[in-house]
C-alpha cells in the first residue's frame, strides 16, 4: 500500500526549497528539516535521494554552478553588442542578485560541504571561481573584438570585478545595491582598458 503521493522531480523541488530557506533565513537556518518542511515533503524524501545532508548541499552547489554555463553563454553572446560596462554591470546584477551570495555564504560556513566540493574543485571558492571564469571569458571575447585593450589582463580584471560585485551585494538585508552603484564599480575597474 502506498504511503504517500509520488513527487515529481523531488531533487529540484528540494533544491528550490533550500534556496528559499537560504534567502529568507540564511545559511545557519538551512537544515534538512527546514528544507523538507519548506518543500512540503517528509524528511525521508531528502535521504531517499541523497546519502546525507552535506551530499544534498554539495549537489545543490554543483547544480547552481552548472546554471552559470547558460549565463556565461549569454554574456559571451553580448560581446560586441551594447557597451562593455553595461554588459558587465548586468552580468554582476544577474549573478549576485540571485541566490549566489547565499550559496557562497553556505560554502564558506560549512567545513564538510567545502571538503566535498574540493574533490572536484580543488582551488578557489566554488561558484565564485566559476563566475570569475565566466567574466574572464567575456572579457577575452571583447579583447579579441578590440573593445578592450589588447594588453588588458583579463585574469586580474575578472576576479577584481567578481570580488567588488560580491562585496556590493553581500550582507545586505532586503534591497540589493542600485544599478548605478554596480555600474560605478564596473566603470572604475575597467576604466583603463575600455577602448
Q: C-alpha angle with apex 156: 155 to 161, nearest 5 degrees?
A: 105
Listed range (5-14, 113-122, 144-153) with the worst mean pLDDT = 5-14
Q: What is the mean pLDDT of residues 156-178?
A: 88
In the CATH scheme, what is the code of domain 1-49?
1.10.10.60
Q: What is the pLDDT of residues 89-141, one digit of tens each?
A: 999 999 998 788 889 989 988 889 988 998 888 888 889 999 999 999 999 99
Q: Higher confidence at residue 183 or residue 9?
A: 183
Cα–Cα distance for residue pair 89/111, rounded to 1 Å: 32
Which residues make up the CATH 1.10.10.60 domain(s) of the chain? 1-49
Q: What is the pLDDT of residues 10-43, one digit of tens each?
A: 888 999 999 999 988 888 899 999 999 999 999 8
Out of 1.10.357.10, 3.40.50.300, 3.30.420.40, 3.40.1110.10, the CATH code matching 53-190 is 1.10.357.10
Sign, Cα dihedral of 58, 59, 64, 67: positive
pLDDT for res 2: 38
Q: What is the mean pLDDT of residues 184-191?
A: 97
Which residues make up the CATH 1.10.357.10 domain(s) of the chain? 53-190
Number of neighbours of residue 110 by Cβ within 10 angstroms: 20
Give whole-number Cα distances, 61 to 91, 104, 118, 136, 167, in Å: 19, 9, 12, 21, 20
Q: What is the pLDDT of residues 75-95, one digit of tens each?
A: 999 999 999 999 999 999 999
Amino acid at each position: 500500500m502506498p504511503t504517500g503521493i509520488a513527487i515529481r522531480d523531488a531533487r529540484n523541488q528540494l533544491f528550490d526549497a533550500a534556496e528559499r530557506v537560504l534567502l529568507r533565513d540564511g545559511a545557519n537556518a538551512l537544515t534538512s528539516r527546514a528544507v523538507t518542511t519548506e518543500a512540503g515533503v517528509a524528511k525521508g524524501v531528502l535521504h531517499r535521494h541523497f546519502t546525507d545532508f552535506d551530499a544534498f548541499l554539495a549537489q545543490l552547489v554543483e547544480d547552481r554552478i552548472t546554471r552559470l554555463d547558460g549565463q556565461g553563454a549569454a554574456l559571451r553572446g553580448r560581446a560586441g553588442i551594447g557597451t562593455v560596462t553595461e554588459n558587465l554591470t548586468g552580468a554582476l546584477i544577474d549573478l549576485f542578485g540571485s541566490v549566489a551570495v547565499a550559496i557562497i555564504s553556505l560554502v564558506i560556513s560549512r567545513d564538510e560541504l567545502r571538503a566535498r566540493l574540493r574533490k572536484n574543485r580543488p582551488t578557489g571558492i566554488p561558484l565564485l571561481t566559476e563566475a570569475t571564469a565566466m567574466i574572464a571569458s567575456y572579457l577575452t571575447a571583447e579583447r579579441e573584438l578590440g573593445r578592450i585593450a589588447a594588453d588588458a589582463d583579463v585574469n586580474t580584471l575578472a576576479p577584481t570585478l567578481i570580488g567588488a560585485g560580491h562585496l556590493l551585494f553581500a550582507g545586505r538585508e532586503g534591497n540589493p545595491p542600485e544599478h548605478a552603484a554596480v555600474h560605478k564599480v564596473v566603470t572604475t575597474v575597467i576604466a583603463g582598458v575600455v577602448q
